[in-house]
Structure 1
């Protein structure tokens, strides 16, 4: 799944506020409602940063000076969540009138804490604190979901109230805006609400999801407090995570209206996914929020290994509901590209470059069944976990090759430095020669995607996920069909 823009953790260290103003170039004119945002990029990947407004539209591309610093004045400021990108890095910042937010960013390290300095920094530091806390808790959801429903409900609510209490203590003797308060409270609340919506899928699983109807009557009591059209939160991770899981949950209740009571839940069923689009269309009126959800849910469906007819049917169903022409063109193009990636088709022959800067065509390096997996220099946990998982798979499936492809457009030195820092084997480590076009051709919409091909570069599975709990079973079934492993019942 495409990653939704979020308030991501980045490694920022405190720097004196005035320090960054020395030698920096100011851009922007003079108005009464304004804010400054600036910083220093350590080990920059290019010579500019891009600033986006609260609607996600580009405000300006800001050049770094000779010291890799920048400062920008935003005139006619609309209070809200702005974002800055650099070389694939993404950071959101809450800006209000007269703020001067500064940070220092080192592109070589992604796991250190983020600390803002300057006027308006306290609220951004607190927002980052709540985000990181909720992100940590979200990673524990699989463990928490083993709790019985009443226990889980109580646990999540107590945690939410504790976070709200800490926030109210933080506000004592501080003159923060109501807007800031609403943002932090939304982050706390919607993170908890998302956990509640995701819980049934983890607790019951596909075989027993029918029992979602047996949850305590007040388990979803939070739904009375939902704002489905919170425009100011439309690019906020906690809010989007909640809406996405909430739609999945609502549609699950309707799933069994058209399926046998005891049937296994199928998240890829056409009717279930159409119901998700129907729900989005009926309960959300904000065009930005609605169109984004419609797009992501459609990508989820068409990226699975459906028939061409099903993909086209669903695409048309989506087009009738979306009002974003750019999104509709993107989805039409995606479905067209996915047709070429269907099982049994030859793998597109793309140019790749190895660690020693030698160019190859992808198909020419495939000599036996192969899993092609992808990673980004901007996602440390993903590239560490994917290589770790592949090492385990190599032991279990010695008859298979693994090709690792970095998807970044940045200079090779960043790619190679990660390989060296983590001692990844340089054999079978590649980059795309033309990353943008290659990602489009192979429909790499999310990093956990993997493509399985046979020794002739014929596609066996166009959209596998090596982290999926059923991946090994899927792989074994494919290899059995290729007679590369014996069936388990033969022993």
Structure 2
């Protein structure tokens, strides 16, 4: 997982030609505050590449040529983390003045196939390496969280130091790399470890024993003394946001037990707990980009859960009073409006879908018995594999249910169909939205693990379940046994 793929002879030829082009351009330009970025997309999902600046805003859309390549000069460049986006997937790159960065990737294996060459390639290949390492370790966190607190603390700290030592050895051999690059890699390593430590109590104690978070070793959270809550240059950095998200959840535990009985079961969906998270974000973060982003996603997580209309509006109003991002506010208002139509007892919106054989249907017409509708994206390999494998298990446990699979992408149909064919997924109940953008908004599909349960008449029994959650079977059994709506 940590190895960077080898460059083939074809890639090498592409990059030699590109470096010649780069060399010619460099000789004719005296302004040093620029960088070149270019590349080749294998199996492109569309004909463009979108570039986001260091603040996450789109600043250019580039067309691929006949060979699926592009080359672009960025002027007045500030050192920072930029985003390359193609077909719904994205990758962060680190750009500094005078870089001439080329990459090549295959959309069928986006992250693992990505390799950089040219000036600036070493630091970006190292960044990719730390990303992949972090993903691998995150997948093992549930297993690691079975350790006692002292053992877990020692384990993640030794792992962090080992990763830093490896990086420092890299710097000894690459002295030309900048202090900015060093700060980014250190942040990626550190904040990923800090996130694991903030998530740990939720996995180790569980809802019934969360009160014992107060019994963790005194120095378990020693990392909190070195946190920068306003690191704007990291505002779109995954490991930094992963830490902040779990950190806020963790800090709010104290407020939760101030308002609830000492030994009560922890309820992450309580109103007081979620309001306290928004209060914490508002009080400890001053950077507007970071603050607004956290406020949006914490409020959205609460609203998307199966709360009453009054509760959703209460948290919405609380959020609106704190956010300064007008675009986010409109999005959240629209979300609440969409969810009002998805209440238990309402008919599921009769959206148009297309099956594997390109025949158009409407949802109401394909539902003939109690059904679970689940979603997946071509851009998330682990999610679409796991969801289909989980549904295969559920089909054997609940033979009286139907399972409808809907792909949410708006890319060319061949990508959707290739995945189905490559993994031998049954095609009978595989569908794609006819208008993905409208459908995702209407059904409030804000995250892929959401599923909707309906009865044989297309009436919503539950608008938001997670087939991977520990209480899914219990929820499903109760719904099917009672055969009536959940009391709100």
TM-score scaled by length of structure 1 = 0.94
Within 5 Å, give how 1:189-208 maps onto structure 2: 189-208=190-209
Displacement of 1:192: 0.5
Displacement of 1:22: 7.5
Displacement of 1:113: 4.3
SS of the equivalent of 1:200 reads: helix
Displacement of 1:31: 3.5
Q: 2 CA distance for matches of 1:242 and 1:342?
A: 33
Cα deviations by residue, 1:39-76 (Å, 9 ceiling, x for unpaired): 00111111111111001111111111111100100000
Within 5 Å, give how 1:164-183 maps onto structure 2: 164-173=164-173, 174-183=175-184
* Conserved 8 A contact 1:43-1:106: yes
Displacement of 1:107: 1.6
* Conserved 8 A contact 1:11-1:106: no
* 1:401 aligned partner: 402
Cα deviations by residue, 1:431-454 (Å, 9 ceiling, x for unpaired): 000000000000000011100000
SS of the equivalent of 2:49 reads: strand
Is structure 2 residue 287 aligned with structure 1 residue 286? yes
Within 5 Å, give how 1:43-442 maps onto structure 2: 43-110=43-110, 112-173=112-173, 174-442=175-443
Q: 2 CA distance for matches of 1:461 and 1:9?
A: 43
SS of the equivalent of 1:72 reads: strand
Q: 2 CA distance for matches of 1:184 and 1:102?
A: 20
Displacement of 1:115: 2.0
Displacement of 1:312: 0.5
Within 5 Å, give how 1:437-448 maps onto structure 2: 437-448=438-449
Cα deviations by residue, 1:232-269 (Å, 9 ceiling, x for unpaired): 00000000000000000000121110001111000000
Cα deviations by residue, 1:205-245 (Å, 9 ceiling, x for unpaired): 00000000011111000000000000000000000000000
* Conserved 8 A contact 1:50-1:86: yes
SS of the equivalent of 2:335 reads: helix
SS of the equivalent of 1:386 reads: helix
Larger relative contact order, structure 1 or 2 (CA cutoff 8 Å, min sep 6): 1
Higher helix share: 2
Q: 1 CA distance for matches of 2:123 and 2:88?
A: 25
Q: 2 CA distance for matches of 1:417 and 1:302?
A: 35
Cα deviations by residue, 1:355-398 (Å, 9 ceiling, x for unpaired): 11110011111000000000011111111110000000000000
Displacement of 1:9: 11
* Conserved 8 A contact 2:406-2:430: yes
* 1:489 aligned partner: none
SS of the equivalent of 2:109 reads: coil
SS of the equivalent of 2:104 reads: strand
SS of the equivalent of 2:258 reads: coil
Displacement of 1:199: 0.4
* Conserved 8 A contact 1:312-1:335: yes
Q: 2 CA distance for matches of 1:82 and 1:98?
A: 15
* Conserved 8 A contact 1:9-1:113: no
* Conserved 8 A contact 2:127-2:185: yes
* Conserved 8 A contact 1:10-1:111: no
Displacement of 1:350: 0.2
* Conserved 8 A contact 2:19-2:118: no
Displacement of 1:21: 5.9
* 2:17 aligned partner: 19
Q: 1 CA distance for matches of 2:356 and 2:21?
A: 38
Moved more, 167-176 or 445-454: 167-176
Q: 1:111 to 1:175 in 2, by over 3 A?
A: closer
Q: 2 CA distance for matches of 1:12 and 1:305?
A: 48
Query: How many correspondences in the alignment?
Result: 474
Structure 1: runs of 5+ lacking an equivalent: 1-7, 484-491
Q: 2 CA distance for matches of 1:456 and 1:30?
A: 69
Displacement of 1:32: 2.6
Displacement of 1:108: 2.3
SS of the equivalent of 1:117 reads: strand
Q: 2 CA distance for matches of 1:10 and 1:53?
A: 25
* Conserved 8 A contact 2:34-2:97: yes
